[in-house]
Amino acid sequence: MTPSLALQDIRVERTQWLEKALACDVFVTAPYAALVHLVQEILRDQPYDAVVQPITSRRKKLLICDMDSTMITVECIDELADFVGKKAEVSRITERAMNGELDFASALRERVALLKGLPESTLQQCYDERVKMTPGGKELVQTMRANGAHCVLVSGGFTFFTSRVAAALGFHEHFANELIIKDAVLTGQVKEPILGKEAKLAQLQAQCKKLGITAGEALAIGDGANDLPMLLAAGLGVAYHAKPMVRAQARAQISRCDLSALLYVQGYGA
């Protein structure tokens, strides 16, 4: 990346390896906004990720993350639908909602309705058999937590899954939607109000207020359209292996590396 920057008249002050041949800091002097666009262009076809950020407030005090397809590798609602033979139908709706083509709350109600009659026990079966943690996620959460950051999982998915994922990865708190269950069977309904993009942003703001920090001291991670307001409000909002419309708007993205890259982004070394 250094030669390309030099060709654009960007002065590279120094480089520093955080881990040899794996993660490197490149310190430059340039206007922030212009540099973000330039680096995105330079990296378009390159096999690595880079994040442009000011050196001040680099190490974040709040970590707030989406769950499905971010901290875990699957969409839980799609996997649940597979147990009733409707995964393809539900997955199509999920994809459109995450791309911002559908109203999230309406899309969630529509998908949950298709789960009506599913035994409650299937939730645990789905977690045990389908849910896999995203590589680097546990290291990210536990390293930040050990260094004093508050870690929050906030999802448009369901509390059944966020409670277990939060415990497995080391989050302090979790927030999500709650499925309505009666007589050990899913009713096809979800409790209102539905936690969507506005609630994710509100949770970021509430956590910052509680901690006595600014949004600039927060790291937010997500992949879908309902994460965008949260990503844009955070000091470092990262589109993680995200949908195209999210990548286009987020100021930072990780599209090739795993979640441990976000430790290097904050200056943590080997």
Query: How many angstroms separate the Cα of 52 from the Cα of each of 6, 43, 76, 166?
Result: 16, 12, 32, 29
Alpha-carbon distance 225 to 177, whole Å?
17
Torsion of CA 38, 44, 46, 52, to 10 degrees: 40
Helix pair 87-98, 104-113: axis angle to 10 deg: 170
- pLDDT higher than threshold 80 for residue 228: yes
CA atoms within 13 A on the CB side of 17: 5
Select from 199, 203, 177, 208 the least CA-distant residue to 190: 177
pLDDT for 95-152, tens place per residue?
Answer: 999 999 999 999 999 999 999 999 999 999 999 999 999 999 999 999 999 999 999 9
Select from 96, 242, 233, 126 the least CA-distant residue to 186: 126
Which listed residue (68, 78, 223, 227) is catalytic? 68
Q: What is the pLDDT of residue 40?
A: 80
Torsion of CA 25, 56, 53, 68, to 10 degrees: 100
Rounded to an integer, the average pLDDT of 249-262 is 95
Q: Does the annotation count 68 as an active-site position?
A: yes
Whether the CB-CB separation of 129 and 52 falls below 8 Å is answered with no
Alpha-carbon distance 104 to 210, whole Å?
27
Q: What is the pLDDT of residue 43?
A: 79
Q: What is the pLDDT of residue 6?
A: 56
Q: Does the annotation count 66 as an active-site position?
A: yes
Q: Give the angle 217-223-226 at the CA atoms, nearest 5°.
A: 85
- Residue 7's pLDDT band (cuts 50, 70, 90): low
Which listed residue (66, 78, 223, 227) is catalytic? 66
One-letter amino acid at 198 equals E
Alpha-carbon distance 157 to 195, whole Å?
8
- pLDDT higher than threshold 70 for residue 2: no
Q: Where are the domains of the chain?
A: 1-48, 57-270
Express as a percent the part of the chain with pLDDT over 90: 85
Would the pTM count as exceeding 0.75?
Answer: yes
User: Which carries the bigger pLDDT value, residue 42 or residue 224?
Assistant: 224
Least confident of 33-37, 117-121, 231-235, 261-265: 33-37
Alpha-carbon distance 156 to 241, whole Å?
17
Whether the CB-CB separation of 186 and 118 falls below 8 Å is answered with yes
- Report the chain's mean pLDDT, rounded to a whole number: 94
pLDDT for 49-68, tens place per residue?
Answer: 999 998 888 999 999 999 99
Rounded to an integer, the average pLDDT of 89-94 is 97
* Helices and strands (H and E) in the chain: how many: 12, 10
- Residue 36's pLDDT band (cuts 50, 70, 90): confident
Alpha-carbon distance 217 to 203, whole Å?
14
Find the helix or strand (DSSP H, E) in which 229 lies: helix 228-233
- Residue 46's pLDDT band (cuts 50, 70, 90): confident
**How many residues can be counted in the chain?**
270
Q: What is the pLDDT of residue 30?
A: 80
Alpha-carbon distance 210 to 197, whole Å?
20
Superfamily for the 57-270 domain: HAD superfamily/HAD-like (3.40.50.1000)
Task: Write the CB contacts of 157 (distance below 8 Å, at least 6 apart in sequence).
Answer: 67, 68, 75, 76, 77, 176, 177
Q: What is the pLDDT of residue 64?
A: 98
Pairing label, strands 62-65, 173-177: unpaired
Q: What is the pLDDT of residue 132?
A: 98
Q: What is the pLDDT of residue 39?
A: 84
Rounded to an integer, the average pLDDT of 209-214 is 98
